[in-house]
Structure 1
Amino acid sequence: MEVLDYHKLKIFKTVADTRSFSKAAELLFLSQPTVTLQIKKIENYLGITLFKREKKGVVLTEEGKLLYQYASKILDDYSLLEEGLSNLRENLQRNLRIGASTTIGDFLLPDILPDFIKNKGDIKVNLFVGNSKEIEEGILSKTFYIGLIEDEVHSNKYEKFEFFSDEIILIASKNTNIPDVIEPENLKKYKFVFREQGSGTRNIIEKKLEKKGVRIKADIEISSSKAIARFVANSDYLSFVSRLVVKNLLGVHLKEVKIKGIKFTRKFYCITQKNIRLPKLDREFINYLISIE
């Protein structure tokens, strides 16, 4: 016996709302044959026809309209059940788990997180700092629900939104005689310190330079942006870092070197796993990120 479970009712309602099997499949990240099969199973179980085809798409039959009324209420009640259980869990344990890529975790969150938690009472914050690839993996494994990364993701497994604009700059020791502005092709004359493979900063720099026909290699790899800044300040190596990393060092130990015709800007992204209900505290933090100017 086929059961009218949440999954089938969700598919049915999405088809009815979009008036399209293909659009419903896209929204639910299913194949169109899968959506068609699930609708057919409902029809076979109930012994009715749910949709009829018209020029502008599929529309509900009279039987379909009746099922739609009850399905909508069932799905709403299910959402209320999830909300109630989530609130109960929040009352038992208020724990905010965040994964952040290095620049965000080391240089942005320490400035903005205290403002969020100051009026939250007794909460516990767990912050994991790694590279963008590690953050993406942590989201999928549910090690944490919120990921803050420096590199855009293209997988449909994540919900994402922009929350901060950043600039990556080329830095050198203040004691070097490198010009303040250089041509892109002259980058090859210098030695570079890069972040490790998988770093959002490194990915953006390499992609942008390759589009300009410039390839430079990492002579040294260091996984800490803070360590890179100190290394450059005491050497003749160059590196690309977020302006956030060196904002207090420019003009003191480091100087910015501009590349003619090239500027590196990027967005920081918040990602969560798609189709997962976040705890209340996590949703509040996301709303806080959205409000940051």
Structure 2
Amino acid sequence: MIDIVKLKTFTTVADLGSFSKSSDVLYVTQPAITQQIKSLEKTIGCRLLRRQGGKIVLTEEGERLYQKAKILLDSYDNLVKEMSQLKKDIKDTLYIGSSPTFGEYKLPKLIVDFQKLYPSITVKLYVDTSKKIEDGILNGVINVGVVDKDVDEKINSVELFRDELVLCVGKNHELTRKSIIDPEELYTIDLVMREAYSCTRKAVKESLESMGLNFELLNIKIETNSMISIANIVKSGYGASFFPKSSIQKDLEQGELIPIKVRNFSAYKVFNIIYYTNFVKSALVDRFIQFILSHKDSLGEAVGFRS
């Protein structure tokens, strides 16, 4: 078996063209270097170095080994650095940012599971608008984020999952008597909606307008920036709202919210994992991103409409 240390000694002698200079650089005695080279030549089965004038040069076989050895040693050095960084990272703090829909419903459980894998780390979670999470990434305050909007081109973005938007009412709402409604019926329903600049509202607006509806004529009676507040209002029996299905899965399973199909309506929120390409992505951040991506198939459950 070829020894990494001997390969390092061999390439150093080849680079410096001298046993004595290599001895100074490697902090190894010259006889020890000579012995390592002889041992390597014995393992390889051919002569690797020769004297030319007052300098040590590579033989033809030595040249071939040198090229392969440099690649191997570079890979080895990178691996050592990565493992050293990971050892440091696992005691580090991970700053995560997320928009409310994902940050309040799906992300907490994922963070707990990730914390179990790396119990020495500290996680700090910030839940805010996608724009503020994006700013935090750009400013270096947040290491990695999950947002539901297009971001600055300087930020690296990886699609996580698409979250279907569904119209829901409370279990005692009169609309539960219907299995499907026509889009025009939305004009007659009191609606509870996210604030005007939210990505959820934007996706609903674009879909309805593509179907010929005038979004401005809808009866939007209550606006708020909290999906939790919207869910509680609708569950109380007042009005209806469009929800990202991942945020209400528990309420759907328990029958607290009832999905109502709108004919030909289709809208999604696209969630992306983001981090800033200008910052060095630590091994811990990379591990977290890979962990989240490994769970992407479980993030969007199907919604069962009433038949």
Q: TM-score range by the shorter chain?
A: 0.5 to 0.7
How far residue 83 of structure 1 moved from its aligned partner, in angstroms, is: 6.1
> Among residues 157, 160, 171, which one is paired with 1:160 in the alignment?
157
Task: Tell me if structure 2 keeps the 8 A contact 1:95–1:281.
Answer: no
Aligned partner of 2:89: which letter? E
TM-score normalised by length of structure 2: 0.63
TM-score normalised by length of structure 1: 0.66
Q: What are the equivalent positions in structure 2 for 1:62-73 lying under 5 Å apart?
A: none
> Among residues 123, 135, 143, which one is paired with 2:141 in the alignment?
143
1:229 aligns with 2:238: no
Distance 1:198 1:88, change over 3 A: farther
Aligned partner of 1:162: which letter? E
Stretches of structure 1 that go unaligned for 5 or more consecutive residues are 1-72
> Among residues 249, 255, 271, which one is paired with 1:247 in the alignment?
249
1:290 aligns with 2:293: yes
In the other structure, the counterpart of 1:169 is 166
In the comparison of the two structures, how many residue pairs are matched?
Answer: 216
Helix, strand or coil at the partner of 1:213 = coil
Deviations 1:30-71 (A, max 9, x none): xxxxxxxxxxxxxxxxxxxxxxxxxxxxxxxxxxxxxxxxxx
Aligned partner of 1:90: which letter? D
How far residue 172 of structure 1 moved from its aligned partner, in angstroms, is: 0.9
How far residue 217 of structure 1 moved from its aligned partner, in angstroms, is: 5.6
Stretches of structure 2 that go unaligned for 5 or more consecutive residues are 1-70, 298-307
1:110 aligns with 2:108: yes
Distance 1:88 1:207, change over 3 A: same
Distance 1:84 1:254, change over 3 A: closer
In the other structure, the counterpart of 1:206 is 205
- The whole-number CA distance in structure 1 between the counterparts of 2:219 and 2:122 is 42
How far residue 105 of structure 1 moved from its aligned partner, in angstroms, is: 0.7
Helix, strand or coil at the partner of 2:103 = helix
1:264 aligns with 2:267: yes
In the other structure, the counterpart of 1:46 is none
Distance 1:101 1:232, change over 3 A: same
How far residue 154 of structure 1 moved from its aligned partner, in angstroms, is: 5.0
Distance 1:156 1:168, change over 3 A: same
Task: Tell me if structure 1 keeps the 8 A contact 2:200–2:269.
Answer: no
> Among residues 277, 280, 283, which one is paired with 2:280 in the alignment?
277
In the other structure, the counterpart of 1:12 is none
Task: Tell me if structure 1 keeps the 8 A contact 2:86–2:284.
Answer: no
Larger of the two Rg values belongs to structure = 2
Aligned partner of 1:158: which letter? I
- The whole-number CA distance in structure 2 between the counterparts of 1:85 and 1:142 is 23
- The whole-number CA distance in structure 2 between the counterparts of 1:132 and 1:154 is 9
Helix, strand or coil at the partner of 1:160 = strand
Distance 1:236 1:121, change over 3 A: closer
How far residue 193 of structure 1 moved from its aligned partner, in angstroms, is: 1.1
Q: What are the equivalent positions in structure 2 for 1:4-43 lying under 5 Å apart?
A: none
- The whole-number CA distance in structure 2 between the counterparts of 1:87 and 1:184 is 53
- The whole-number CA distance in structure 2 between the counterparts of 1:154 and 1:252 is 36
How big is the alpha-carbon RMSD for the aligned residues of Structure 1 and Structure 2?
2.7
- The whole-number CA distance in structure 1 between the counterparts of 2:196 and 2:96 is 22
Distance 1:232 1:85, change over 3 A: same
Distance 1:217 1:136, change over 3 A: farther
How far residue 200 of structure 1 moved from its aligned partner, in angstroms, is: 2.3
Task: Tell me if structure 2 keeps the 8 A contact 1:222–1:228.
Answer: yes
Helix, strand or coil at the partner of 1:201 = helix
Distance 1:100 1:217, change over 3 A: farther
How far residue 119 of structure 1 moved from its aligned partner, in angstroms, is: 2.0
